[in-house]
Amino acid sequence: MTLNGFYKGIKNDISWHQHGDEEAVFSEENLKRGGILLFGRVTYELMAGYWSTEAAKQGFRNLANEMNNAEKIVFSRTLTATNWENTRLVRHEAVDEIHRLKASGGKNMTILGSGSLASQCVDAGLIDEYQLMIDPVAIGEGIPVFCDVKNKLELRLVDCRTFKSGAVLLTYHPAQLHY
C-alpha cells in the first residue's frame, strides 16, 4: 500500500507498486509454505492478467512459478469461469466459505489486495494476522486499504521488516488475540 493508505489507485492502477528482487524472494518464501490465495474478482483479474504472462515468467521466474502453481480461490458473483491455473471460483458468500475453510483446519489463507473481501473478513473476525507492505510512495487518489470496514479494528504490532527499496512490512495481530 502507499504511504497515504491506498492499495490501488483510480481505475485499479498499481503501477506505483515497484518491488524488486528482495520483495520477490519474500513473496516466494511465503508462497512455498503452501496456502490458499484468496481474491476478489478485480484483484484476481489483475493478478491472473499479469502472472500468467511471459513478461512475468521472464522478469520474476520463480515468483511467477509459485503464483501460477499456488492454490487460488476467487470470490465473485459475476465471473462465470476462471482462466488461471489452480483457481476455484466461489460464487456464494465469501465469509461463509472462509469460515468453513478455517474450521476444517486446512491450509493458511492469504488475501492479496482485494479490499472488499479483506473488509468482509475483518468485520467477521476471520483474520489472524495482517501483513501490510508500505511502499515509499504517495499517490493523489486511490482506494484505502480498509475502506469498507464497518467495525473498529485494533491491531498489535508484532514485527517490522525493512527492505532495501524502502518498502516496510508491518505485521500485526488483532489486539484481542494473545500469543
CB-CB contact of 50 with 19 (8 Å)? no
Can you give the pLDDT at residue 57? Answer: 92
Helices (H), the chain: 21-32, 41-51, 54-59, 61-69, 94-103, 115-123
Is 109 within the bounds of a domain?
A: yes
pLDDT tens by residue, 138-155: 999 998 888 889 989 999
Is 167 within the bounds of a domain?
A: no
Asked if residue 93 has pLDDT above 70, the reply is yes
**Residue numbers of the domain that contains 77:** 36-88+95-132
CB-CB contact of 38 with 110 (8 Å)? yes
Residues 17 and 7: their CA atoms lie apart, in Å, by 9
The domain total for the chain is 1
Burial 33-69 (b: 16+ CB within 10 A, else e): eeebbbbbbbbbbbbbeebeeeebbeebeebbebbbe
pLDDT tens by residue, 60-82: 888 999 999 999 999 999 999 99
Can you give the pLDDT at residue 17? Answer: 82
Nearest residue to 112 via CA among 42, 24, 175: 42
Is 28 within the bounds of a domain?
A: no
